[in-house]
Structure 1
């Protein structure tokens, strides 16, 4: 393998590791924020959320081979039942009317005069996380589906010098720049949520 390819692999490995690390931290922060903000939901939205959770809980079916039948797992009532929701489920609910009031958070662009809605931005980050976890050998990330906003090389070097340290971020590292851009935005989102 040529030195250039090895260098690119090193940068890619570091950026992917940092992405997963930042994602895990952000997931905990969002779930904590979600739990804290549930009390502020309107009664109608609260009812819809419990209805949604009831639908999820009712999917606990398994095959009982010894009796040749389908059986339901018991599901006990929990006061804090929403801790079992995944980040993806929370963000999809946040895009709906049910939780839109909790997640009315705008993320300001770091390069342009636009803002991104938190649920839409997080759906892109979740897509990227799933691709990194399950399709790493055939990674095909896109700016449209997987990245909040592709940042310029200069902006990435400015805001992420603690991520790639002394490695050079080359212009043709397209996949790496998409991942790197989302890391910068995840940090921005974490900062906004911890201030809220």
Structure 2
């Protein structure tokens, strides 16, 4: 199961979704990506909105990439990880400008991976990579379908290796997934895809 964007116009963004067990999953993924990653990484991790989050600081110590909480109207940069703040949906436009909203919950969650993936699909089409990691629930499955319908590439953590398999199972269940891999193998595939970007 492999799918690649047109060679003439490579990948421009990686969007990642995780929930329960996701801090470990994100740390494993991001720590294996290189400082010179030529695309931004957008992350939805379900967080408790009642507490100030330190996820950006925790992950920043684990990866050579810059990690920060996303800000409204911020311009994305290559080699930087933007994490949706607690209780805010994260969206991106075709110009790489981020938008944060507090619109209604989607499948009982905010931020929603579905909304992030749908915005990435609309903005980047075949130049988007979506990745679903460990988590409970179904968030991300509708977004996976949106990414595939516009020619993007979808990577899912093998549910059998996920700490919580709800989100990976739901994504695989769409039948719209290009790669189903153990967590430790995902970074190499992402690197391989984005580094074949425009020469």
Q: TM-score, normalised by structure 1?
A: 0.26
Q: Which has the higher helix share?
A: 1
Q: TM-score, normalised by structure 2?
A: 0.26
The structure with the largest alpha-carbon Rg is 1
